[in-house]
Amino acid sequence: MPALQRLRPDHAPAVLAFERANRAFFAASVPDRGDAYFTDYPPRHAALLAEQEAGVCHFHVLVAEETGEVLGRFNLVDVAGGTAELGFRLAEKATGRGLATTAVHQLFDLCRTRYGLTTLRARAALTNTASRAVLSRTGFVATGEEVVLSGERGAAFVRELGAAA
């Protein structure tokens, strides 16, 4: 079973390989990151780690235990006042197995016990049915707020987590 891990410096090559291998797949449902993202990845990865160290974001990768391959990214950004925004992407070959749903549930535990978060927000394009399904399966509720994500219509969601048990 893949393991959800907090982003570390040594994840950089595997994260870049994940993004390259799935670039076309991701571009079908979210805007492409552009060539500069791939060319300039090492300083980008270092910047993510600096944000994480500052406590404004918490980045995670879903890693295949057998191979060390990154199968997904699960990020908590804009952390403030007990809330954060969830964003995630899963490798094409890892879809349809419940991995995203399981990873989001694991994040809920981390949010409560490690990060002190009580509320998560999320956004998804209306055309991104897979992400909206994961949000629904994990208890996110549409807020009714319409959003625009890189020029596409989307919806906003929220999930109350409650306090740590």
pLDDT digits (tens, 9 = 90+) for 93-112: 999 999 999 999 999 999 99
**Looking at the domain assignment, is residue 112 inside a domain?**
yes
The pLDDT tens digits for 118-132 are: 999 999 999 899 999
Q: pLDDT-derived band of residue 164, with 50, 70 and 90 as boundaries?
A: low
**Looking at the domain assignment, is residue 82 inside a domain?**
yes
The CATH number covering residue 126 comes to: 3.40.630.30
Tokens 């994840």 belong to residue: 11
**Looking at the domain assignment, is residue 139 inside a domain?**
yes
The pLDDT tens digits for 43-89 are: 999 999 999 999 999 999 999 999 999 999 999 999 999 999 999 99
The Cα 85–Cα 75 span in angstroms is 8
**Looking at the domain assignment, is residue 165 inside a domain?**
no
pTM: 0.93
Q: What is the DSSP string of the chain?
A: --EEEE--GGGHHHHHHHHHHTHHHHHTTS----HHHHHTHHHHHHHHHHHHHHTS-EEEEEE-TTT--EEEEEEEEEEETTEEEEEEEE-GGGTTSSHHHHHHHHHHHHIIIII---EEEEEEETT-HHHHHHHHHTT-EEEEEEEEETTEEEEEEEEE-----
* Tally of domains in the chain: 1
| Confidence at residue 28, expressed as pLDDT on a 0 to 100 scale | 83
Residues spanned by the domain of 145: 3-160
